[in-house]
Amino acid sequence: MKIAQRMSAMKPSATIGMKVKADELKKQGKSVLSFAVGEPDFPTPDNVIEAAKAAMDRGETKYTAGSGTTELKEAICAATQRDLGLQYSPSQVVVSNGAKHSLMNIAQVMCDPGDEVIIIAPYWVTYPEQVTFTGANPVVVETHASDDFQPDLSAVRSAVTGRTVSIILNSPSNPTGCVYEREVIEGIAEIAVEHDLAIISDEIYKHIIFDGAEHVSPATLGDEVKERTILVDGVAKTYAMTGWRIGWMIGPETFVKRAGALQEQATACPNSIAQAATVEALNGPQDSVEEMRAEFERRRDFVVERLREIPGVTCATPRGAFYAFPDISEHYGRTLGGREITGSLEMSEYLLEEALISLVPGSAFGADDYIRLSFATSMEDIDGGLSRFKAALE
């Protein structure tokens, strides 16, 4: 059967790939400890579950408006006002099947073949894939653990060409846990204004921040920046709702309307019950958000301390999200368990097969010197897993 040209570059998700391999070993009865998943290990809060049940009982089981219910858009605007102090109207919101879907809609509405989109590495695996799918080209700007993964503004500036249409920011970052400093966001915003670029700001981890670090959304830097910024967020990480599939974009009405039209043709609307549940997540009590955040911070401290005890491993301190991104490249070139470790993929395979711990190779995020370890798992598993990790490298 014919397969379209544009599919030729699309790779399956590396994070999901690691999960499949780990599941196979588990089926063989092996006790694999997983640090590969990118989702909170907490249950969805009860009030949200109850709201979903109530929505079903009320018969809210039919199509909604393509871009989401007015009630949910109003709740999203209120939450954005509460969290960022920004005023938006419901007509500036499109609710989608997860923030990933919002990002896909943005890429489709924004990019023509040959356009360029600046992406900061280490990047979330999905960004370059979505950009490439439109025929546009990702232009990668690297960052390093030695700078705490803060982007270098002159490197960002040098990446801009006449074809650049936008820059994607993700702070707090998956996979590094880096929270961009105010000066960095301001500098990037200045470059965007100067070169007439859109800023796509993926703020899905904005509630998971440690050490009192400041979350700066570019949209808060004045009207000139707000008008060129599209905020992307969702309930997956903040409320442990990955499976509910609700995310959104907020931005200029002319752009957002097009995304709504695209979505109507692609998927009619997001799930009606999940939308009702999301209204409760946003408007209801927020205690569970702080409880989860505090627990992630406790685990972060433990993970970083234990990683730094392993010879040849260095780790920048994650200030947000729930990932550590240690540099393990000092071990490259060694032969471990009868195999030569030439990069992060071989290291991940070695650690999975010999130490029975699953992690995601940094190569998936455009940074082969590292591996990503999610601490969205119990302290007990973190403790056991890091002991295995250490033993496997000794």
Contact residues toward ligand PLP (CB under 6 A) are 38, 98-100, 124, 170, 174, 202, 204, 234, 236-237, 242, 247
Non-local CB neighbours of 160 within 8 Å, separated by 6+ positions: 118, 191, 195, 197
Nearer Cβ to ligand PLP, position 184 or 313? 184
Nearer CB in complex with ligand PLP: 175/350: 175
Sign of CA dihedral 116, 117, 118, 120: negative
In the complex, the smallest distance separating the C-beta of residue 20 from ligand PLP, rounded to whole angstroms, is: 18
Helix runs in the chain, H state only: 14-27, 46-57, 70-84, 99-110, 126-133, 153-159, 182-194, 223-226, 253-267, 272-283, 287-308, 344-355, 379-393
> Between helices 344-355 and 379-393, what is the axis angle to 10°?
110
Contact yes or no for 77/180 (Cβ under 8 A): no
Contact assessment for residue 360 and residue 15, using Cβ atoms and an 8 Å cutoff:
yes
Strand partners, 280: none
In this complex, which beta carbon is closest to ligand PLP, that of residue 38 or of residue 361?
38
Of the pair 242, 317, the CB lying nearest ligand PLP is at 242
Cβ distance to ligand PLP smaller for residue 94 or 356: 94
By beta-carbon proximity to ligand PLP, the closer residue of 150 and 242 is 242
Shortest Cβ distance from residue 97 to ligand PLP (Å)? 8
Does residue 368 sit in helix, strand or coil? coil
Closest residue to ligand PLP: CB criterion: 98
Closest CA to 274 of 9, 49, 8: 49
Helix orientation angle between 272-283 and 70-84, rounded to the nearest 10 degrees: 30
Q: Kindly state the smallest distance separating residue 27's Cβ from ligand PLP, in Å.
A: 26
**Nearest distance, CB of residue 239 and ligand PLP, angstroms:** 11
CB of 124 to ligand PLP, least distance (A): 4
Radius of gyration of the chain, Cα coordinates, nearest whole angstrom: 21
- 318-219-250 Cα angle (round to 5): 100
Give the nearest distance from C-beta 34 to ligand PLP in angstroms.
16
Using the minimum distance from each CB to ligand PLP, give the nearer residue, 203 or 355: 203
Residue type, 66: G
CA distance 213 to 243: 28
Amino acid identity for residue 15 in this structure: T
| b/e 320-357 (16+ beta carbons within 10 angstroms → b) | bbbbbbbbbbebbeeebeeeebeebbbbbbbbbeebbb
Closest CA to 112 of 137, 95, 83, 89: 137
User: Cβ closer to ligand PLP: 174 or 329?
Assistant: 174
Least CB distance to ligand PLP at residue 169 (A) = 10
Q: Which is nearer to ligand PLP, 189 or 236 (CB)?
A: 236
| Smallest separation, CB 98 to ligand PLP (Å) | 3
